[in-house]
Amino acid sequence: MAPFGRSDRDAPARRGTPADLLVVGLGNPGAEYAHSRHNAGADVVDLLAARHGGRLKLGKERALAAEVRIGAHRVALAFPQTYMNDSGLSVGPLVRRYGIDDPQRLVVVHDELDLPLGRVKLKLGGGLAGHNGLKSIKAHLHTDDFARVRIGVGKPPGRQQGADHVLRRMTKAQRVELDVAIAEAADAVEAILADGFDTAMNRFNTTRPE
């Protein structure tokens, strides 16, 4: 088993100061997927870049990426361009590029069917809840100990498949609720940096009942 973030196909080792945190927002590239439920994680990365003066650019790691300063911290932001199911193909090289040698310094932001629409919860390691993006990251990093910011998109109605639900157009009210959650998830990332993961998790996981 390879060490965390290492493989023969990874990008060259980073030179210079490593990032304090790598924040990866999951989603699918392309205009047809933009701002869907499935791209909630990517929208969080976009928002963090806008808040902190970053500009996401396509790099060799098959991701739109930027480095920003959040307080005293150097933070790398990334949105893999590999499509959701192959997210690990991008995240593997990203953790090497940004010198992330501890999985807890990787924060993956993603949509979560098992949470009600608009609910934001933090989680460190543990089960992947059938999320294909997380499965791919685990397969490439050989660990599931990375941190997650989970954005609830709700379960599909009736007999609709989960894959259809996360890509289906939302109502205006649902869009507003998801946008509030995206802002809250960005706040959660900033709280992780300011206060540490455990304190941020206690704050955001108990904000309101399920």
Choosing from 38, 110, 140, 165, the catalytic residue is 38
Are 198 and 189 in contact by the 8 Å Cβ rule? The answer is no
Residues 62 and 82: beta-carbon distance below 8 Å: yes
Segment 65-68 long-range contacts (CB within 8 Å, at least 24 positions apart): 65/94, 67/19, 67/98
Alpha-carbon distance 199 to 210, whole Å? 19
Rounded Cα–Cα distance for residues 43 and 34 (Å): 8
User: CA–CA distance from 116 to each of 36, 120, 133, 167 (Å)?
Assistant: 16, 9, 19, 16
Residue 121, beta-bridge partner list: 150
73 noted as active-site residue = no
Phi then psi dihedrals of residue 207, to 5 deg: -60, -45
- Cα–Cα nearest to 51, from 61, 43, 62, 60: 43
Instruction: List residues with catalytic annotation.
Output: 38
